Amino acid sequence: MRALSTAATGMEAQQLNVEVIAHNLANMNTTAFKRQRAEFQDLLYQNLQQVGTQSSDAGTIVPTGVQVGLGVQTGSVYRITDQGSLTQTQNPLDMAINGNGYFRVQLPNGGDAYTRAGNFSKNDQGLLVTSEGYQVAPGINIPDEARSIDINAQGQISIMLDGDPQPQIIGQVELATFPNEAGLEATGDNLYIETGASGAANIGIPTQPGFGLIRQGFVESSNVDAVGEVTALIQAQRAYEMNARVISAADEMLATSSNLR
């Protein structure tokens, strides 16, 4: 009975759906987290009677045929890159991108990663780093004697030193954009890496055409909608239960047919 395997694919699909929703809800308070959505596709069909075939010598055509579907499969789990709300932190090293773009981060292996999480700090060498200690490209050194730090919308970092009435520019924040942001590969720690699907990174300066601007003292919040996720969770649970009922009904039908005398 096809209904058993068909309903089983439905249960597996809803299980994945719930796992994606659970991941979203677990990251409701993760800085700059981007929620995900599972998409599904119907499986192949068995043609018991091919549509469009001739049904008689007179040339009559079968109008609909008989196709039986074999269930559902996962099409993709895609990332929704809508911007989250900006939360003020009062930390002068925190930065949020208002608009398009990602901060570029230098990994220990020499490669580049990208992030929207701008909760930065200064390490023991005075370098601007992420919460994991990865250096923010292109490498910005903040002197210990700096008594104030200012980051403007264009990403220029300037400091004030004792005895000097003029601010000194010490670095420039760079941003990266991609033709397909959803094609970036998430590696954890709020980091993404470039893939063939995302396209090559386009490096630029904040406020340039196609790039967002920098807000100092803010971080981007997660874009997870709690109400929407709970609603989707209820729908997934109901769909899972209905597929389980199909399996129970199919099993009862098989038991009935096997007990025929």
Enter the tokens of residue 102: 């990602």
**Which structural domain range is residue 181 located in?**
86-220
Domain match, 63 and 98 both: no
Q: Residue 37, exposed/middle/buried by CB under 10 A (0-12, 13-18, 19+)?
A: middle
Tally of structural domains, the chain: 2
In the chain the first and final C-alpha atoms are separated, in Å, by 20
**How far is C-alpha 114 from the chain's CA centre?**
13
Q: d(Cα 147, Cα 221) in Å, to the nearest integer? A: 28
pLDDT, residue 54, reads 76
Kindly state whether residue 229 falls inside one of the protein's structural domains: no
Q: d(Cα 160, Cα 26) in Å, to the nearest integer? A: 41
pLDDT, residue 207, reads 93
Kindly state whether residue 225 falls inside one of the protein's structural domains: no
Place of tokens 């990663």: 113
Q: Residue 125 — left, alpha, or beta (φ > 0 → left; ψ -120 to 50 → alpha)?
A: alpha
Kindly state whether residue 226 falls inside one of the protein's structural domains: no
Identity at 151, one-letter amino acid code = I
Domain match, 99 and 179 both: yes
Q: d(Cα 159, Cα 215) in Å, to the nearest integer? A: 16
Domain match, 18 and 58 both: yes
pLDDT, residue 59, reads 75
pLDDT, residue 196, reads 93
Global pTM value: 0.84
Kindly state whether residue 228 falls inside one of the protein's structural domains: no
Domain match, 208 and 123 both: yes
Angle, CA 21 vertex, CA 11 and CA 242 arms, to 5°: 25
Domain match, 205 and 168 both: yes
Biggest CA pair distance of the chain: 103
Please report, for residues 86, 145, 210, 227, the alpha-carbon distance to residue 38 in angstroms, rounded to integers and kept in the order given. 26, 50, 29, 17
Q: What are phi and psi of 209, to 5 degrees?
A: -55, 130
Domain match, 138 and 186 both: yes
Kindly state whether residue 189 falls inside one of the protein's structural domains: yes
Domain match, 115 and 158 both: yes
Domain match, 107 and 151 both: yes
Domain match, 212 and 96 both: yes
Kindly state whether residue 188 falls inside one of the protein's structural domains: yes
List, run by run, the mean pLDDT of 10-residue segments along the chain (261 residues).
Answer: 87 95 95 93 77 75 78 90 92 93 92 93 91 90 88 92 84 94 91 93 93 94 94 95 92 82 65
Place of tokens 């007179």: 58
Find all residues with CB under 8 Å of 23, minimum gap 6, and list them. Answer: 36
Enter the tokens of residue 96: 């949020």
pLDDT, residue 261, reads 65
Domain match, 196 and 104 both: yes
Q: d(Cα 169, Cα 149) in Å, to the nearest integer? A: 10
Domain match, 139 and 14 both: no
Kindly state whether residue 231 falls inside one of the protein's structural domains: no
Please report, for residues 8, 47, 261, the alpha-carbon distance to residue 256 in angstroms, rounded to integers and kept in the order given. 21, 27, 10
Q: For residue 181, what is the DSSP state? A: G
Domain match, 39 and 132 both: no
